Structure 1
Amino acid sequence: MSILQSFMRIFLRLFYFWEVIVLDMENRYHRNRIYINEEDQRTIKEFRILLAGAGIGSVIAECLLRFGFENLTIIDGDKIELSNLNRQNYTESDIGNYKTISLQTRLLSINKNARIKIFSEFITVENVSNFIHDFGIAINALDFSSNVPFLFDEICQKKNIPVIHPYNFGWAGFVTIISPTGDPMDMLGNNFMNFEFKVAAFLIDNLKKTGQQYTWIEDFINEYKAENLNLSPPQLSAGVYLLAAMVNEIIFSFVRDKKIKYFPDFYFTSLIS
């Protein structure tokens, strides 16, 4: 190969890098400008996020990707059902498919260059430690059908990874973050049975301490308790989209070393006063 050919090959590679990486960044995130500066946009592109659970997580993942977080690892062994479609990021044609596979396909259709790694399996006591390594932050959107969510947090804390917990309250979103050195969520109760009720009671008690009265949340909890408790809790798409926005802002603040609130402090946004 001649010197000229070698030079041309190097030039074409550099041009490809500039066209695919630089121009893609400039064009794709052009409307993020002012809200996000160029340096932060480049930083979040590489920031590694672990997302455990592709239910609520499916909407959170898309919000993060569109914002510029392009390095996501998603774990879930669940398959899509018709009842998921009122709030999760799937369509009728996805029913019966693994959530992770459908979600990966959707995310890559938005940004084909994103690094979307998936595991189509349930997190268990036996395998949980295999998934948790050098992530910048984790999102625990697992169902409390076992003690695995508590174990997930425990391992993340040992590996110095903060864990975000999002909860859908229909017309409202509640988010809290477990610090690597802070109190764990099982401070509210280390039994997974009806853990969502314990979270709701914690939220209501703390809102009352600040003088905020959200009686509609208490009414909802009482009505749900009156149902067969084997039923999954009612959830709305409104709550999921609120959560996605909140989680996005929290992670962006974390990446920029801005102050964030850790459990037992929390974030709460409601569409009903």
Structure 2
Amino acid sequence: MSISLHGVGYTHPNGTLALKDIRLDIAADEQVAIIGSSGAGKTTLLKLLATSLLASRGELQLLQHDPAQLGRAKLRQLRSRIGLIHQSPPLPPRQRVVTAVLAGRLGQWSLARACLSLCYPTDIQGARAELARLDLADKLFARCDQLSGGQQQRVGIARVLYQQSDLMLADEPVSAMDPVLAEHTLSILGHVARERGIPLVASLHAVELALRHFPRVIGLRAGEILFDKPADSVSQQDLDALYVNTGLGELAQQHGATTAQRPRNPCL
């Protein structure tokens, strides 16, 4: 397994319990969506998988390593193999898009090459190729503060694609995109993951996107896994239980997310 969690929990420094007794295994070629209401623990779970947080309890294995047992150097090496797509990518406003994309490999390059790339892009064609996947090749030399929110999200995705990680994580990667662009972008992420044979784990608020683009869906509620099943087995009852008292179960039904109505992604 590329990812294995056994009894994993996380408590924030202020004492808030964010995750409890998470038991989960994800194979090297799986694509998994995590859904749930705001505050359910989706982002915290992704941060644990990205090693930006360490579990408060339980056992976590990532790419055959336990992050809690690694020294600083080994932990940096592990992080260089994990690509995290942020909902709001940390892009310096005055930075050029090409430099932002090439930053995906800073953790893998020597210090000399990393510093050179920050001053003068060393692989313009590589950055252009990843941007082209996302229909952004024309923004190669634009400044990041000249982009829309959706364009910035796609630059963040291009950076992770350029990184060529062994694990892709995505935290609400298409939240700033229009519906058509969101569908297109998720299709690209799924295609790249399959092409490279790596796991893709994404948190999504849009239930219908999760059900269309991911073969496996995990419902997270109040820091616990409520269900973990194939997308075509997720029922309206599952969604109602997941979003009880939020009205989102009914909203998912209105958007055609029931198993009877749900269109399937032809790329799966």
Which is strand-richer, 1 or 2?
2
Kindly name which structure, 1 or 2, has the bigger radius of gyration based on alpha carbons: 1
TM-score (norm 1): 0.29
TM-score (norm 2): 0.30
